[in-house]
């Protein structure tokens, strides 16, 4: 059965949702599922914007057929050649042999890498700023390399003032019938997943996202239609400001995030004492995570959110506890910058090793300030050592007050 939605006059959502997939890109947990958005704009010529993942291909093809209602599909715009959006191109060609494929020079190379069909006879190559008219609608193409892959472009419908934004402004999470941002309490229901999606998928490419935001600021946008997550039809400023902050690596919360490893509970004990000391001293909205039972994608997202991070880690096999090492390598890979870090270590027989290893990774990152006060726990904390926790807490409070 078709499952489509009209989102504007002659504009239809023909995407699909998947709640069976556990790991997006076989990497990121998606407990709330994922939506693959695709849009069909009917006019004198009918134009489809991107496809979906193969896993939901049957639903998508039924949706496209239903909306076309016997009419031709004239064009497919390929904004992004990652297979979660392009894997139905070949099926569309079989079903709609007259369909032309609008893409750029980078895209065409990738189509040839992924597929064996004759793309050269079907392709209409577009460049920055080029437009195409399909009747009342006129579309303009804006290149957005590395938001998320090098071939990415976004498409602006000049007539409707709609930006089809590819991966930008997307999110993890199925839509559950609420397609629009104002159908839900976005901050409560979506923001954490939108942040986790951005920081883990596109976070590395902050300068490229800034380039796209600059280009987008020169056009009048009434609606943003991303390839994942909700469609934005009001309060666009809210999500654009989030993207601006995230892509400049500016924290959203002037507060403290604590990430720890604790093999036998002794490091966790110190973390609890420190967070209570910080709470007593007026620090609000803190977050504490055990790296062992939190997927690293959540830790990356929270690290983009907070200004101050405490890393409390144990040694393991003559090195860093593996989950902490993975976390640090991930925030480095995602280019996280402009953060203030405090380090607590716990070792039974190699004091100093954790601090050295953490610092080794942090020094390879940009604009990371490591605070002076540390605490080298020898297996477990003693009451007489509380002053170390107090010193770390006081230094963090002082640092936050001066920000
Ligand atoms: Fe949702 Fe970069 O693909």
Average pLDDT, the chain: 98
- State how beta strands 28-29 and 23-24 pair: antiparallel
Q: Which of 238, 230, 243 is nearest to 37 (CA)?
A: 230
Nearest-Å Rg of the Cα atoms of the chain is 24
Q: What local confidence, expressed as pLDDT, does residue 30 receive?
A: 98
Q: What SS3 state is found at 151? A: coil
Measure 35 CA to ligand 1 centroid, in angstroms: 11
85 lines ligand 1 (CB under 6 A): yes
* pLDDT (0 to 100) of residue 277: 98
Residue 196, pLDDT score: 98
Q: SS3 for 307?
A: strand
The model's confidence at residue 49, banded by pLDDT at 50, 70 and 90, is very high
Distance 167 CA to ligand 1 centre (A): 5
- Which DSSP symbol is given to 173? B
Six-digit token pair at 382?
A: 């003693």
pLDDT given at position 210: 98
pTM to 2 decimal places: 0.97
pLDDT for 403 beyond 80: no
Tens-place pLDDT, residues 341-362: 999 999 999 999 999 999 999 9
Ligand 1 near 80 CB (within 6 A) = yes
Per-residue pLDDT averaged across 311-332, rounded?
98
pLDDT of residue 146: 97
Residue 402 has a pLDDT of: 87
Dump pLDDT digits (tens) for 323-334.
999 999 999 999
Neighbours of 129 (CB within 10 A): 11
Q: Is 100 in the pocket of ligand 1 (CB under 6 A)?
A: no
Q: Is 53 in the pocket of ligand 1 (CB under 6 A)?
A: no
CA separation, residue 125 to residues 76, 79, 151, 266 (Å): 12, 12, 12, 61
Q: Which atom of ligand 1 is nearest to the CA of 202?
A: 2
Ligand 1 centre and the CA of 50: distance in Å? 11
Q: Is the CB of 167 under 6 A from ligand 1?
A: yes
Maximum CA extent, the chain: 80
pLDDT tens profile 131-164: 999 999 999 999 999 999 999 999 999 999 999 9
The tokens for 104 are 């750029």
């Amino acid at each position: 059965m078709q499952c489509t939605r009209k989102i504007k006059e002659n504009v239809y959502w023909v995407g699909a949702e998947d709640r069976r997939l556990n790991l997006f890109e076989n990497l990121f947990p998606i407990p709330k599922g994922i939506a693959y958005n695709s849009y069909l704009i009917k006019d004198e010529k009918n134009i489809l914007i991107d496809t979906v993942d193969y896993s939901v291909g049957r639903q998508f093809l039924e949706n496209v057929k239903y909306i076309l209602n016997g009419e031709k599909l004239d064009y497919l715009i390929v904004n992004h050649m990652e297979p979660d959006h392009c894997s139905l191109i070949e099926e569309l060609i079989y079903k709609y042999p007259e369909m032309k494929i609008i893409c750029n020079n980078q895209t065409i190379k990738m189509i040839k890498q992924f597929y064996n069909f004759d793309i050269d006879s079907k392709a209409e190559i577009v460049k920055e700023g080029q437009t195409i008219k399909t009747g009342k609608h006129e579309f303009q193409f804006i290149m957005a390399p590395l938001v998320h892959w090098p071939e990415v472009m976004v498409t602006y419908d000049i007539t409707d003032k709609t930006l089809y934004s590819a991966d930008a402004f997307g999110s993890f999470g199925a839509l559950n019938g609420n397609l629009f941002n104002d159908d839900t309490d976005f901050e409560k229901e979506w923001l954490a997943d939108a942040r986790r999606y951005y920081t883990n998928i596109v976070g590395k490419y902050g300068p490229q996202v800034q380039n796209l935001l600059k280009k987008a600021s020169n056009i009048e946008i009434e609606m943003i239609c991303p390839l994942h997550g909700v469609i934005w039809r009001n309060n666009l400023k809210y999500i654009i400001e989030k993207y601006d902050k995230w892509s400049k690596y500016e924290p959203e919360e002037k507060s403290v995030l604590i990430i720890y490893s604790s093999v036998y509970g002794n490091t966790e004990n110190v973390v609890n004492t420190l967070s209570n000391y910080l709470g007593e001293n007026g620090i609000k909205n803190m977050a504490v995570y055990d790296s062992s039972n939190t997927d690293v994608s959540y830790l990356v997202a929270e690290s983009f959110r907070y200004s101050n991070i405490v890393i409390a880690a144990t040694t393991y096999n003559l090195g860093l506890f593996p989950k902490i090492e993975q976390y640090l390598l991930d925030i480095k890979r995602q280019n996280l910058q402009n953060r203030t870090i405090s380090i607590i270590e716990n070792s039974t027989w190699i004091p100093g090793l954790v601090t050295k290893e953490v610092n080794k990774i942090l020094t390879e990152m940009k604009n990371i300030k490591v605070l002076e006060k540390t605490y080298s726990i020898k297996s477990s904390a003693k009451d007489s050592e509380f002053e170390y926790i107090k010193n770390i807490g006081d230094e963090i409070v002082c640092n936050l007050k001066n920000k």
